[in-house]
Amino acid sequence: MILQTTYAGAAFFAGDSIDNTNHQASVIGAVAAAHYIRAVAPAYGIPVVIHTDHCAKDILPWLDGLLDADELYYKEHGEPLFSSHMVDLSEEDVTWNIQITAKYLKRAAAMKQWLEMEIGVTGGMEDTVNHEHVDTSLLYTQSRDIHLIYTNLKQVSPYFSIAASFGNVHGVYKAGYAVLRPHLLRLHQEYVQEKEKTKTCKPVFFVFHGGSGSSAQDYADSIRFGTVKVNLDTDLQWAYLSGVRNYVMGKKDYLATQVGNPEGSDKSNKKYYHPRAWLREAEKSMTARVKDSFRDFNAVNQL
């Protein structure tokens, strides 16, 4: 299970009223979330990867702050606070993207920490990045760029993955906005394999951004061609909302007033409008959606 925060999501976790001028709210929120997950996850018996997502050029100080927290935690526990981070310089020059990513990978490598990077453009809108109107030809990463990244980063550490674009979009859009081409990942693998003269059939670890709205076949193909992480956000947001929406619509006669419902004018509605009641319904509907995803990703334990 991978739990991740974005820059804005981390600030929201800390509290929207906290000043984020110098990225402090996003650092505080992400660090707090990581400690919370570490404290609670053992009770569920679920291995969890703690990740931060989409650190673009203008918010690199956020990643610096997170790595500071990692190094402090590493000194005491022998492992970083976060399992992995993402550097997203996909809007920048490829050479500069690789150079800066390599710098952060070197820092992470000292803790055997994973780093994810992005090359090419993922369409749609995610957090503070809007690519809804980008030329769709930019949604497909070239094999030569994948090889260039691979050869440079593997000299620093083997612990990295590449979020390559193969028609991905953040969010869910009507058919025809973009066409997923998972087979491109296979071509990238073959290109790197040939250039590196390696017998490893899948030398590159890929990340599937914008997984929401995709078909089970798209998931299966991308995983078969070397995808090790799938981002699923928009579908889970919808599932979460659906639980709240269905609860409110089903209990509308109990939520119109604090006192008085179909069972009597003197009946209290507190147990119906208590946040734990409707938030739990959101959690249940999102849990059901996550279970569906695990089946799609071939990630269900075979007992």
Residues noted as catalytic: 53
Q: What is the CA radius of gyration of the chain?
A: 21
> How far is the CA of 240 from the CAs of 33, 282, 289, 292, in angstroms?
19, 5, 9, 14
Three-state secondary structure of the chain? CEEEECHHHHHHHHCCCCCCCCCHHHHHHHHHHHHHHHHHHHHHCCCCEEEEEEECHHHHHHHHHHHHHHHHHHHHHCCCCCCEEEECCCCCCHHHHHHHHHHHHHHHHCCCCEEEEEECCCEEEECCEEECCCCHHHHECCHHHHHHHHHHHCCCCCCEEEEECECCEECCCCCCCCCCCCHHHHHHHHHHHHHHCCCCCCCCCEEECCCCCCCHHHHHHHHHCCEEEECCCHHHHHHHHHHHHHHHHHCHHHHCCCEEECCEEEEECHHHHCHHHHHHHHHHHHHHHHHHHHHHCCCCCCC
For residue 272, which of 260, 291, 250, 255 has the smallest C-alpha distance?
A: 255
